[in-house]
């Protein structure tokens, strides 16, 4: 048997615009997803952030309302990116990832597309929360607020990795039913919903994955600066999530 | 274990070339020394009961699973290269579709993964799903979903299509529509291999039937040969004195001789010869001839006779 030369591969490389377009269309079709990521964070902001005293109280370069708006934008962004990443679990459960292995699509492109779509969702959450916030009394140094919002979006990529990791780890179709409450808990514990003060909770918070991001994202509008701990927190958790996601991803795509 | 085809000189590249395949899951030997050569243009049924190793073999020939031993070549290529080149595609048993996409979107999306495919419109027509292009996959019947999988498999215009029990769970009509679509396409000279546990399906749609049992090939022949094999009869008779079993086995057409107390049971394709022998050359009495059901023949071949049955010539 003489093996013939491998023909030029017909696989396409890099991100594929048809895939991105269809994935974005799927996002818009998912009503429950939209409510969780685009409606809940601004509603939380309106409930907790628009007390009249907050509008006059300053945190340094913006009012408390802006501080809460930015926190909620970050919350919405991490909720979005986590659920975007975690959507791999649904697609694994439906056998879609297996089907993709019968096409030239590379698994890396698949994950890159999932992350790109998760980041679009995160951007949506940030923009909607900011629009509602700016229209409802959040004020301060606009350029600093914009830097904070941009940091919230970029930083939420850490949670896209978290979502991927969990999506590959948990074999469930409803992984967000677990991750939703987990994120809410992490957000409380990490000081995303309220200032931590100086007690034992503040000490615990330093080890929670949302803590570092919250500190860094709010840094520009406060005068406190960003602690070394916050940076270490984000870097360490980021490494944990990326390595975890890569480990599970390799396992998922390995030939058995 | 040899098949007739491996003995004939092979010219050109085989569509499928599986050699000495073995694959175990823990202590279970799913595939246990399987050799199979399929020439371009053949329509082959991979027939066997559940658990015979059909799906495991298919996973290995698609590069989804790695054999413990042996080699797989598809059109002379590694399975993953053949997949990446769009030269082999597959219709899997179930799953593999996103419920929230429409039929047309699923095809458009899959087409975007290849460089150069047949047009989505054309494959939908070929698979008979052009009328449900805008339907959500989750709202399609099992048969429609299967024809969608078939449409996806047609996209790269592959040389080889592999189907794993493609009609499982379909109603009669869905099954007929599916096979009609496949049949129409097979006329174009594509190599098709499908796993099934329906004997009728294998008979109706394949040129060649490969019977697998316990991870090995127990018979391999044309549909007509397998059919003649399964159209045999069962001759039974009582006997009082000693019985020459070897003489019975030597009769033309005899496949199996079984002695149960004072009764002998012979499976044969030539019941006349056996009856004549029993009544003239032995003191057998109380002779019965019964038609042998397809199921009986199938079970006899695929259960515990793996060693005794070779190729059907």
Q: Which residues of B238-265 are buried (b: 16+ CB within 10 A; e: fewer)?
A: ebeeebeeeebeebebbbbbeeeeeebe
For residue A233, give the nearest of A189, A198, A197, A195 by alpha carbon: A189
Containing A247, the helix (H) or strand (E) segment is helix A228-253
Question: Could you tell me the CATH number of the domain that includes residue B241?
Answer: 3.30.70
* Residue positions counted in chain B: 313
**B304 lies in some domain:** no
- B149 and B49, same structural domain? yes
- B141 and B268, same structural domain? no
pTM for the structure as a whole: 0.79
Question: Could you tell me the CATH number of the domain that includes residue B103?
Answer: 3.40.50.300
pLDDT at B38: 93
Smallest Cα distance from A26 to chain B, Å: 7
- Residue B157, pLDDT > 60, answer yes
Note the pLDDT tens digit of each residue in B163-182. Answer: 998 887 777 887 888 888 78
- Residue B101, pLDDT > 90, answer yes
Distance CA B223, CA A75 (A): 64
- B159 and B174, same structural domain? yes
**B303 lies in some domain:** no
Domain limits for position B240: 231-291
pLDDT at B57: 93
In terms of Cβ atoms closer than 10 Å to its own Cβ (0-12, 13-18, 19+), residue A87 is buried
Both tokens of A14, joined, read 């890099």
**B5 lies in some domain:** no
pLDDT at B36: 93
Dihedral angle computed from the Cα positions of residues B90, B96, B102 and B107, in that order, rounded to the nearest 10 degrees: -30
Question: Among partner residues B10, B99, B109, which is closest to A94 by beta-carbon distance?
Answer: B99
Whether B306 contacts chain A with CB within 8 A = no
**B149 lies in some domain:** yes
- B163 and B89, same structural domain? yes
Smallest Cα distance from B89 to chain A, Å: 7
Distance CA B190, CA B39 (A): 10
Q: B102 or B294: which carries more pLDDT confidence?
A: B102
pLDDT at B139: 93
Distance CA A11, CA B117 (A): 11
pLDDT at B127: 86
- Residue A34, pLDDT > 60, answer yes
Using DSSP, state whether B91 is helix, strand or coil.
strand
Note the pLDDT tens digit of each residue in A164-183. Answer: 999 888 877 778 888 888 98
Beta-bridge partner residues of A58: A63
- B236 and B210, same structural domain? no
- Residue B42, pLDDT > 70, answer yes
Residue at which a domain ends, from B227, B256, B271? B227
Are B103 and B129 a contacting pair, CB within 8 Å? yes
CB–CB contact A96 B101 (8 Å)? no
Name chain A contacts of B11, Cβ cutoff 8 Å: none
**B307 lies in some domain:** no
- B244 and B223, same structural domain? no
pLDDT at A247: 87
- Residue A248, pLDDT > 90, answer no
List, as ranges, residues 70-129 from A with C-beta within 8 Å of B. Answer: 91, 94-96, 98-105
**B7 lies in some domain:** no
- B139 and B203, same structural domain? yes
**B111 lies in some domain:** yes
Note the pLDDT tens digit of each residue in B190-214. Answer: 899 999 888 788 888 888 999 888 8
Helix H, strand E, coil C: the string for A3-68 is CCCCCCCCECCCCCHHHHHHHHHHHHHCHHHHHHHHHHHHHHHHHHHCCHHHHHCECECEEHHHHH
Distance CA B116, CA B155 (A): 9
Closest-approach residue (CA) in chain B for A252 = B64
- B47 and B132, same structural domain? yes
Whether A25 contacts chain B with CB within 8 A = yes
Question: Among partner residues A7, A96, A255, which is closest to B98 by beta-carbon distance?
Answer: A96
- B255 and B216, same structural domain? no
CB–CB contact B85 A12 (8 Å)? no
Count CA atoms within 13 Å of residue A203 on its CB side: 2
Residue at which a domain ends, from B199, B227, B255? B227
pLDDT at B296: 62
Sheet holding B233-238, edge to edge: B254-260, B263-268, B233-238, B285-291
Note the pLDDT tens digit of each residue in B208-261. Answer: 999 888 888 888 888 777 766 666 788 999 988 788 888 888 988 888 888 888
CB–CB contact A10 B97 (8 Å)? no
- B119 and B185, same structural domain? yes
- Domain definitions of chain A by residue range: 17-254
Q: What is the per-residue DSSP string for A177-246?
A: HHHHHHHHHHHHHTTSSS--TTSHHHHHHTTSHHHHHHHHHHGGGBSS---HHHHHHHHHHHHHHHHHHH
Beta-bridge partner residues of A11: B114
CB–CB contact A99 B84 (8 Å)? no
Note the pLDDT tens digit of each residue in A35-57. Answer: 888 999 999 999 888 888 888 88
Total number of domains in chain B? 2
Distance CA B53, CA B48 (A): 8
């Amino acid at each position: 048997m003489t093996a013939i030369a491998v023909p030029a591969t017909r696989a396409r490389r890099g991100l594929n615009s048809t895939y991105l377009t269809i994935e974005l269309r799927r996002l818009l079709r998912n009503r429950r997803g939209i409510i969780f990521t685009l409606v809940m964070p601004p509603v939380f902001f309106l409930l907790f952030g628009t007390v009249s005293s907050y509008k006059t109280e300053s945190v340094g370069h913006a009012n408390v309302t802006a501080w809460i708006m930015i926190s909620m934008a970050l919350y919405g962004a991490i909720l979005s990116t986590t659920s975007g990443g975690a959507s791999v679990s649904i697609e694994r459960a439906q056998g879609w990832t297996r089907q993709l292995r019968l096409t030239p699509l590379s698994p890396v492109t698949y994950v890159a597309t999932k992350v790109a779509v998760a980041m679009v969702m995160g951007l949506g959450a940030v923009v909607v929360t900011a629009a509602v916030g700016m229209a409802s009394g959040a004020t301060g140094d606009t350029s600093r607020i914009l830097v904070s919002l941009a940091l919230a979006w970029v930083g939420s990529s850490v949670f896209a990795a978290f979502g991927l990791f969990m999506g590959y780890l948990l074999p469930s179709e409803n992984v967000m039913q677990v991750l939703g409450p987990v994120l809410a808990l992490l957000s409380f514990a990490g000081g995303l919903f309220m200032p931590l003060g100086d007690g034992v909770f503040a000490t615990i918070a330093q080890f929670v994955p949302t803590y570092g991001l919250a500190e860094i994202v709010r840094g520009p509008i406060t005068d406190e600066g960003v602690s070394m701990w916050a940076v270490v927190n984000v870097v360490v958790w980021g490494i944990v999530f990326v390595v975890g996601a890569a480990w599970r991803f390799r396992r998922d795509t390995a030939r058995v | 274990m040899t098949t007739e085809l491996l003995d004939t000189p092979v010219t050109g590249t085989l569509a499928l070339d599986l050699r000495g395949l073995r694959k175990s899951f823990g202590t279970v030997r799913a595939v246990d020394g399987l050799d199979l050569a399929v020439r371009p243009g053949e329509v082959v049924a991979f027939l066997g009961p559940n658990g015979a190793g059909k799906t495991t073999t298919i996973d290995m020939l698609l590069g989804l699973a790695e054999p413990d031993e042996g080699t797989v070549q598809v059109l002379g290529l590694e399975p993953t290269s053949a997949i990446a080149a769009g030269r082999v595609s597959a219709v899997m048993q179930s799953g593999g579709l996103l419920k929230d996409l429409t039929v047309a979107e699923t095809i458009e999306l899959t087409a975007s993964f290849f460089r150069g495919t047949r047009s989505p419109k054309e494959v939908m027509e070929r698979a008979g799903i052009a009328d449900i292009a805008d339907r959500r996959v989750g709202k399609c019947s099992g048969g429609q979903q299967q024809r969608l999988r078939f449409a996806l498999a047609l996209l790269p215009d592959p040389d080889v299509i592999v189907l794993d029990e493609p009609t499982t769970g379909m109603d009669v009509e869905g099954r007929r529509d599916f096979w009609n679509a496949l049949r129409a396409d097979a006329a174009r000279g594509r190599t098709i291999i499908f796993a099934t546990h329906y004997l009728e399906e294998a008979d109706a749609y394949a040129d060649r039937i490969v019977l697998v049992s316990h991870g090995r090939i127990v018979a391999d022949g044309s549909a007509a040969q397998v059919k003649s094999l399964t159209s045999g009869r069962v001759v039974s008779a009582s006997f009082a004195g000693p019985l020459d079993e070897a003489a019975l086995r030597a009769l033309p057409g005899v496949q199996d001789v079984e002695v149960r107390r004072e009764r002998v049971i012979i499976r044969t394709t030539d019941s006349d010869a056996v009856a004549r022998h029993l009544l003239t050359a032995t003191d057998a009495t109380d002779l019965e001839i019964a038609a042998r059901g397809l199921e009986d023949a199938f079970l006899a071949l695929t259960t515990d006779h793996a060693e005794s049955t070779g190729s059907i010539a």
